[in-house]
């Protein structure tokens, strides 16, 4: 699988010819709705086995071979290129498919209202083959320890058809928001805990869940150790039932980080207790904040580095957004929220407004600005094949357990093709 960034003058025919790939395969892989009107800066995935590398100034066979984990002799032989000849700038070298790391992949799916929309059902069906887990979000804890499930439609059937396990996500959501008061009850009241764990075990066994995932947010800072103790209690009970336990962790860069979202999340304790954790490494750019990359890789890496200082890499799932935002400028604190959009919608808006897509090398994220019909300026940050590849490279480099997506429902076809191409995604044995 190759990533190609559209340049001025590129056509789909020319790109297909460059890589020796049928045009229809390019259209299908990228779900192109306007294949004859590409956007400058748009990233495409090219469905080929292995990839091509085009020689850049300063490249040598040795440095290119090192980059892809090959010997100079292998690279020269595969491309039938004399090993001592200078490399012409722009010369195309073929790089064979590289060994794949096995990872765990999860995706949350969040139905609204009383029914699951066709969009979410279709998203679950399309992505389940690429996932270890799918996590309906969420089972809400009531104040007496009982559970209120989300709409589940036929997620169980879809998961079973694709050998995809399901994650029982449990939250302290109450009336649409994370409740500090409810969280405090969950982690401090023994009777509520006993009822809750009984209900979790019953639901997990009846419905066939494999992992129980606690996403308890905005706890009082003083409840840090109470949350740890609750997790120890839950771990013992769930292990007796053959169930895994995982947690969602706010994106911290130090143990002393202040703030209602962070203080009660003890990375070291969760790393010790849980089978694995999901780092919520997204929402630097968020709907009510100023325009920013949603998951800038420099900030994500700081969180991962802190996590690695207190827990093993094979317990860490990197959180990743499947969406971007469109902000109307000027940004005003407390003003209207930015609009959540899919990567596909972001490309379409760039095309309709005749603007090129730019790329921030520090954040490793695409962005652009445009003016709407009313003359309002907009700024858009989203994800593309390059930004996702940067996260995949980090997972490989640091040996992380895998990736966890928030959330299904907004189209991003390039992600799933790259995920399949770069990794072997674990499927749990029954």
Task: Give the SS3 label for residue 298.
Answer: helix
Q: Which two tokens stand for residue 32?
A: 């192109």
> Which residues are CB-contacts of 22 (< 8 A; sequence separation ≥ 6)?
16
> Which residues are CB-contacts of 332 (< 8 A; sequence separation ≥ 6)?
none
Q: Cα-flanking dihedrals φ and ψ of residue 369, to 5°?
A: -125, 155
Using alpha carbons, select from 191, 219, 195, 221 the residue that is nearest to residue 141. Answer: 195
* Pairwise CA distance, residues 78 & 53, whole Å: 13
* Pairwise CA distance, residues 149 & 168, whole Å: 10
Strand partners, 381: 325, 367
* Pairwise CA distance, residues 295 & 2, whole Å: 23
Is 217 in the active site? yes
The catalytically annotated residue of 110, 217, 241, 272 is: 217
CA distances from 229 to 19, 213, 366 (A): 56, 16, 42
Instruction: Give catalytic residue positions.
Output: 217
């Amino acid at each position: 699988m190759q990533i190609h960034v559209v340049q001025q003058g590129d056509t789909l025919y020319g790109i297909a010819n460059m890589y020796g790939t049928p045009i229809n395969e390019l259209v299908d892989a990228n779900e192109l709705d306007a294949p004859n009107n590409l956007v400058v800066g748009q990233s495409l995935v090219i469905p080929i086995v292995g990839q091509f590398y085009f020689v850049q100034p300063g490249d040598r066979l040795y440095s290119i071979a090192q980059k892809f984990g090959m010997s100079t002799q292998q690279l020269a032989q595969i491309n039938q290129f004399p090993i001592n000849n200078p490399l012409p700038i722009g010369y195309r070298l073929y790089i064979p498919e590289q060994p794949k790391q096995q990872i765990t992949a999860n995706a949350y799916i969040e139905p609204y209202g009383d029914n699951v929309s066709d969009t979410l059902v279709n998203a679950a069906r399309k992505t389940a083959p690429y996932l270890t887990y799918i996590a309906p979000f969420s089972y809400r804890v009531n104040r007496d320890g009982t559970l209120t499930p989300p709409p589940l439609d036929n997620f169980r059937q879809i998961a079973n058809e694709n050998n995809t396990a399901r994650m029982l996500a449990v939250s302290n959501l109450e009336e649409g928001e994370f409740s500090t008061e409810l969280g405090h009850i969950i982690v401090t009241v023994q009777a509520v805990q006993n009822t809750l764990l009984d209900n979790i075990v019953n639901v997990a066994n009846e419905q066939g869940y494999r992992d129980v995932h606690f996403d308890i947010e905005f706890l009082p800072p003083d409840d840090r150790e109470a949350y740890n103790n609750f997790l120890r209690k839950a771990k013992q009970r769930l292990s007796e039932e053959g169930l895994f336990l995982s947690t969602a962790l706010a994106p911290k860069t130090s143990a002393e980080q202040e703030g209602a979202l962070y203080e009660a999340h003890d990375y070291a304790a969760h790393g010790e207790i849980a089978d694995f954790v999901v780092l919520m490494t997204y929402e630097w750019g968020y709907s009510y904040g100023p325009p920013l990359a949603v998951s800038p890789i420099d900030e994500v890496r700081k969180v991962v580095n802190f996590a690695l200082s207190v827990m093993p890499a094979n317990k860490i799932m990197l959180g990743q957004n499947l969406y971007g935002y469109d902000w109307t400028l000027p940004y005003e604190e407390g003003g209207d929220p930015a609009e959540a959009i899919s990567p596909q919608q972001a490309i379409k808006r760039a095309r309709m407004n005749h603007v090129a897509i730019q790329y921030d090398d520090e954040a490793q994220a695409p962005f652009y600005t445009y003016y709407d019909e009313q003359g309002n300026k907009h700024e858009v940050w989203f994800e593309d094949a390059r930004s996702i590849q940067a996260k995949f490279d980090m997972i490989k480099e640091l040996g992380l357990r895998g990736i966890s997506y928030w959330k299904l429902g907004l189209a991003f076809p390039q992600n799933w093709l790259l995920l399949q191409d770069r990794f072997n995604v674990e499927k749990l044995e029954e």
